[in-house]
A and B are shown apart, each in its own frame.
Chain A
Amino acid sequence: MINTLLAVAPELVPLALVDSFIEFLHPSELSRVLIDGLSKAAIYAMIAGGLTLIFGLMGVLNFAHGSLTMVGAYLGGAVMVLMVSSTTGPLARVAFFFVAVAVVFGALSAVGGALEVTLIRRLYDRPPIAQILLTFGLTLIIDELMRIILEFYDIQPRADWIAAWGTKPWFLSQRLSVGPISVRGIALFEIVMGVLTVAGIWAFLTRTRYGLFIRAGSEDSEMASALGIDVRRVFTVVFALGTGVAGIAGALLMWDTHWGASVPLGAETLLPAFVVVIIGGLGTFRGTVAAALLVGLVDAIMSWWFVNEIKFSGLPQLTIFLILVFVLIVRPQGLFGVEEVGGH
């Protein structure tokens, strides 16, 4: 409507903006947008959380993180497809999903740990470009291997994996309504999973001795070593943990119509995850969660506004990058960042 007015009666645009704002404040619209925003924030926090933990401690920008998320989506999907039949009830499907999450977390953590020990560790004393090239190369290898495996099983790698999507319990495909408020079931589920995962990582970092070692090592790994902490082992654990959490996010995305399990999922998730990590402040988990909330909500609000009022769906992504540029100009270290992080 607004783009039409811009062409025929630009003086009415302010009125139209007020009108659309009032429409936005209607409980049904507001709740839908907020829930969508929080579900995006949950996904971003899960993917970017692992990325920032790895960068914070090790100073490694892991370009393979998105591809490992994609592997999590397919592995989770494979577990679900194997366990779920057409007669499986909805609650059993949810239970099987948590089994799939456990399998994905275990397998991806093992893969992450192995990658750190065999490949990443060799590059700590090299310039950052070596890590970027290695992890980018890993992305290409993982994506290609996945494509080969999928084509072997006659699954279309570039399209969402319908069989995995079909294992979703029916109530997650529905809109849930309470009074004027109506939200997507899968969005609520993503929020719950995101909160559980973020709370789990937070508790691990702040309530356990190993978490204390990670936070100390993130600040000054040399001093941490001199206090008797085996920082190399901590590196391995953090890489494994970060990869495992990325895998959980992937498993969750196989059910989301906006994402789905497909090979391009890796690239699709990596870019917003990097944006979130940079806005939050490289290496700070707290900042990443805050930035995920900011980006998720702005993304949802702009998506609603551009799609409903401007009728131009390409612009919401642009607003995320505008936030990134603004933060980089005003506060280059990010919302919660310190000036120097990572190191070996």
Chain B
Amino acid sequence: MTVLEVEDVHTYYGESHILEGVSLEVDDGEVVALMGRNGVGKTTTIRTILQLTPPLNGAVRFRGTDIVDEETHEVARRGIGWIPEDRRVFAQLTVEENLRVAVPNQDEIAAGLELAYDAFPILEERREQRAETLSGGQQQMLALARGLVGENELLLVDEPSEGLAPQIVATVAESLADAATQTSMLLVEQNLPLALDLADRFYVLDNGSVVDDGETDDVSADSDRLRRYLSA
């Protein structure tokens, strides 16, 4: 069954036409990679799905319901989680408060915290620390954990490996693979081997349009088919 359906979406920033008729789908239990060079509209696609930057035309359906014109918090409450590109943890809040904010129901906080700390034990050690005092890798873990405790049916994950040391990338990849067993995922990732390893299918964006899509099993990170659109 289709969880997310983006159909012929056109999104603008002021006068700039960023998404020029993007269409894509994510099915139940599926990880879909959204790839492309910098500035082609990957993050805008995620912002459009969340209605942070609503589209001017087109439809965004979640479980068959058009969510265009809904408020972002309503979209989130439907079960769409966001792990943003620059982590965006709440710097002045403690680790635990960052997680508490993300749990939708107060009576499920204990279970949510347990889930997060099982996935990232280092966060439990630092539960009372302000998020601003964490390293970049730990902040990324916190951002991922926040997505996990939100009981989401779909996670929108934007550049999770960006700026991280290789050993931290491995931890993050492992966590994403674990998360993918419980939820569908739309993954924006420039690290091709990581994206292809995690995803079942892929879309390639170029100049605000989908220019290629397919099964990840049919391509490799160094294939001409992908390098044509992804190399700098």
- Residues on A lying within 8 angstroms of B by beta carbon are 209, 212-213, 215-216, 219-220, 222-232, 338
Does A227 lie within 8 Å of B101, measured CB to CB?
A: yes
Q: Which of B52, B91, B92, B93 contacts A226 (CB 8 A)?
A: B52
B92: nearest residue on chain A (CB-CB)? A219
Within 55-112 of B, Cβ neighbours of A (below 8 Å) are at 71-73, 76-77, 82, 84, 88, 90-93, 97, 100-102, 104, 106
Does B73 lie within 8 Å of A225, measured CB to CB?
A: yes
Going nearest first, the 10 A-B pairs with the smallest beta carbon separation are A228-B76, A225-B72, A226-B82, A228-B77, A223-B88, A219-B90, A225-B73, A230-B73, A216-B101, A216-B90
- Least CB distance, A227 to chain B, in whole angstroms: 5
- Least CB distance, A211 to chain B, in whole angstroms: 10
Evaluate whether A225 and B90 lie within 8 angstroms (CB atoms) in the complex, with A212-B101, A216-B101 already known. Answer: no
For A219, the chain B residues whose CB sits under 8 A away are 90-93
For A230, the chain B residues whose CB sits under 8 A away are 71, 73
- Whether B137 sits at the interface, judged by CB under 8 Å, is no
Q: Which bucket holds chain B's interface residue count?
A: 20 to 34
For B104, the chain A residues whose CB sits under 8 A away are 228
A76 CA to B220 CA, complexed, in Å: 74
- Least CB distance, A75 to chain B, in whole angstroms: 34
A279 CA to B123 CA, complexed, in Å: 34
Q: Which of A212, A229, A338 contacts B73 (CB 8 A)?
A: A229
Contact with A along B42-60 (1 / 0, CB 8 A): 0000000010100000000
Q: List 9 A-B contacts (CB under 8 A).
A: A215-B93, A216-B93, A220-B90, A225-B76, A226-B72, A226-B84, A228-B77, A229-B73, A338-B92
Q: Which of B71, B91, B106, B146 contacts A227 (CB 8 A)?
A: B146
For B101, the chain A residues whose CB sits under 8 A away are 212-213, 216, 224, 227, 229
Q: Which of A223, A225, A229 contacts B84 (CB 8 A)?
A: A223
- Whether B36 sits at the interface, judged by CB under 8 Å, is no
For B92, the chain A residues whose CB sits under 8 A away are 215, 219, 338
For A209, the chain B residues whose CB sits under 8 A away are 100, 106
Does B88 lie within 8 Å of A220, measured CB to CB?
A: yes
Does B100 lie within 8 Å of A227, measured CB to CB?
A: no
Does A228 lie within 8 Å of B150, measured CB to CB?
A: yes
Does A227 lie within 8 Å of B150, measured CB to CB?
A: yes
For A215, the chain B residues whose CB sits under 8 A away are 90, 92-93, 97
A230 CA to B72 CA, complexed, in Å: 8
- Least CB distance, A341 to chain B, in whole angstroms: 10
- Least CB distance, A175 to chain B, in whole angstroms: 43
A338 CA to B82 CA, complexed, in Å: 25
Q: A215-B90, A223-B88 are in contact. List 10 more A-B contacts (CB 8 A).
A: A213-B101, A223-B82, A225-B72, A226-B50, A226-B76, A228-B76, A228-B77, A228-B104, A230-B71, A338-B91
A213: nearest residue on chain B (CB-CB)? B101
A232 CA to B88 CA, complexed, in Å: 20
- Least CB distance, B152 to chain A, in whole angstroms: 10
Evaluate whether A222 and B52 lie within 8 angstroms (CB atoms) in the complex, with A212-B100, A227-B76, A227-B102 already known. Answer: yes
A219 CA to B88 CA, complexed, in Å: 10
A181 CA to B101 CA, complexed, in Å: 48
B50: nearest residue on chain A (CB-CB)? A226
- Least CB distance, B44 to chain A, in whole angstroms: 14
A216 CA to B50 CA, complexed, in Å: 18
- Least CB distance, B103 to chain A, in whole angstroms: 9
B72: nearest residue on chain A (CB-CB)? A225
For B76, the chain A residues whose CB sits under 8 A away are 225-228
- Least CB distance, A333 to chain B, in whole angstroms: 13
- Least CB distance, A53 to chain B, in whole angstroms: 14
For B91, the chain A residues whose CB sits under 8 A away are 219, 338
- Least CB distance, A101 to chain B, in whole angstroms: 30
For B97, the chain A residues whose CB sits under 8 A away are 212, 215-216
